[in-house]
Amino acid sequence: MDVPDHNTINRFRSGRLKGVLKEVFSTIVKFLVTEGLVSLDRVYTDGTKIESSANRYTFVWGKSISTRISKIAEQLNELWAYAESVTKQELMEETPLLAEDISADKVAQVVDRIDEALRDVDCDKKVKQKVKRVKKAWPEQLKRYEQQEQILDGRGSYSKTDPDATFMRMKEDHMLNGQLKPAFNVQISTNEQFISNYTLHATTADTTTYTEHIEEFKPLYGFYPKESICDAGYGSEENYLYARGKGIKTFIKYNYFHKEQTKKWRTDPFRSSNFYYNSTLNCFYCPMGQPMRFIGRRKQYTKTGFEQEIHIYQAIRCQGCPLRSLCHKSKANRRIEVNHRLNKLKAEEKEKLLSPQGLVHRSQRPQDVEATFGNLKNNKNFKRFLCKGKNKVEVEFGLLAIAHNIAKVAS
């Protein structure tokens, strides 16, 4: 009845397993393949949010930092303008100070210049006191904000007690209320309810995790899966093109896939997706049969930096049209924005999803991957990590994935 020491278990988990557990995991999966229990050709992928062990009430928000920096820049410009009005001279060449370019060193330089200018001038004492106060406080605050922005690295938030954890909207908290809590986005791929791949992410949306998750598959097994089945949370232009480039046949739903199948959607003549497109003339036709001419294009970028090209079309004359009140509410002629490449990818994906093979995959996906999450979170009651930091959390979930696979073989 000897009890293992906590430190021994912890050293083994966070020390010895670091960097090698994924290889152990893949070795077990390869054994399952040789036994005919698992196929690596087809993967069902989904994600869930699992709470971090970090403090729920100590956090840093990216928007709050941006707001505070903007307020500092605004107040500094006001002090600057006041100093110039009192001294009757321009203090610096560049005005005003923009929040985007603000830094601790630059603020310290500007405050020193304002303080020097107001030192021998008869002006409001409260202003001089404010200048002395901000001279000590603002540079230190901005240095702290710069450090916090480096930790954020594009995220919207992080926990002070576990900077790798991001605050995510969870379905329920410990008091059964919907609440933001520090968590990790756990992605898994399954086949026959066996876990074949797992990754952890600090981003809240599943869309941005797909390429990284699938890219982890090849180092484990030496090839990419032949088929990838996901729900609508993964449908994006970037993901479709990525999978196509890797030779993966996808069955990934996109937003509004199910709504597009309804009669109300298909018979709505005022929905831009139902407008007829003439590829020869490069124009759309509105419900009145009026051509909508191509007037330009623009580029936009996703959070991951992926470039999208948007084509813009506008009707020639909406004034006097009897259908205008039903068609749009703009005072000008109606404009629509179209991503032709994405529409083409969606059409191809729709054809696969509605095929007999696609119907089988769509019905199998929730039984496969979602049932696996149900077993981990409800049957095994794994709803919160015990460790902190992404590396340790990955080891923790890796042990859980191995235990799941072995237990399934045993059962």
Do 265 and 314 fall into the same domain? yes
Last residue of a domain, one of 349, 381, 400: 349
Which regions of the chain are under pLDDT 50? none
Q: Does residue 270 sit in the same domain as residue 293? A: yes
Question: Does one domain contain both 103 and 185?
Answer: no
Domain enclosing residue 15, as ranges: 11-56+165-256+371-410
Are 229 and 42 contacting, i.e. CB atoms less than 8 angstroms apart? yes
Residues 46 and 72 grouped into a single domain = no
Last residue of a domain, one of 155, 184, 218: 155
Token couple for 266: 């298909």
**Residue 356 lies inside a defined structural domain of this protein:** no
Are the C-beta atoms of 181 and 70 separated by less than 8 Å?
no
pLDDT at 99: 60
pLDDT attached to residue 408: 93
**Residue 65 and residue 49 share a domain:** no
The pLDDT value recorded for residue 93 is: 52
Nearest to 334 by CA among 357, 301, 312: 312
Residue 320 falls within a domain, yes or no?
yes
For residue 5, the model assigns a pLDDT of 87
Q: Are residues 236 and 385 in the same domain?
A: yes
pTM reported for the whole predicted model? 0.86
Q: Return the pLDDT at 215.
A: 95
The answer to whether residue 360 is domain-embedded is no
Query: For a pLDDT cut of 70, what percent of the chain falls above it?
Result: 94
- Per residue in 80-107, pLDDT tens? 777 777 766 555 555 556 666 777 888 8
Regarding whether 191 and 46 lie in a shared domain, the answer is: yes
Report pLDDT for 78.
81
Last-in-domain residue among 349, 382, 401: 349
From CA 172, how far away is CA 410, in angstroms rounded? 33
Q: Which pLDDT score is estimated for 69?
A: 87
pLDDT at residue 44, rounded to an integer: 96
User: Do residue 77 and residue 135 come from a single domain?
Assistant: yes
Examine residue 365 and state whether it is found in any structural domain, yes or no.
no
HSE, side-chain direction, 13 A CA sphere, residue 143: 7
- Please tell me the total count of domains within the chain: 3
Residues 36 and 176 in one domain: yes
Q: Does residue 151 lie in a domain region? A: yes
CATH at residue 234 = 3.30.420
- What's the pLDDT score for residue 116? 77
Predicted pLDDT at 173: 56
Q: What is the pLDDT of residues 11-21, one digit of tens each?
A: 888 888 888 99
